[in-house]
Structure 1
Amino acid sequence: MIGLKPPAIDRIALLAAHCDDIAIGAGGSLLTLCSARPGLRVDALVLSGGGTEREEEEHAALTAFCPGADLRLTVLKMPDGRLPANWDEAKAAVEDLRARTDPDLLFAPHPGDAHQDHRGLAKLVPTAFRDHQVLGYEIVKWDGDLGRPSAYQPLTPEVAEAKVALLQQHYPSQRQRPWYDREAFLGLARIRGIECHSRYAEAFHTNKLTLDLAGG
Structure 2
Amino acid sequence: MKMKPIPTVVMIFAVTLAFAEEGDTAAFSAPTAYLKQLDSNVQAIVRADGADTLSAQENAQVRTLINGAFDFEELSRLSLGDHWNERTAQERDEFVRIYQGIIERRNFDIFVQYYREGEINYVDEAIDEGGRARVEAQVPMKRETKQIVYALHQPAGQDWRIYDLSIDGASTVTGNRRTYGRYIARHSFDKLMERLRAQLSALQQTDE
- Bigger helix fraction: 2
Which has the larger Rg? 2
Q: TM-score, normalised on structure 1?
A: 0.26
Greater relative contact order: 1 or 2 (C-alpha under 8 angstroms, separation 6 or more)?
Answer: 2
Please, what TM-score do these two structures have when normalized by structure 2? 0.27
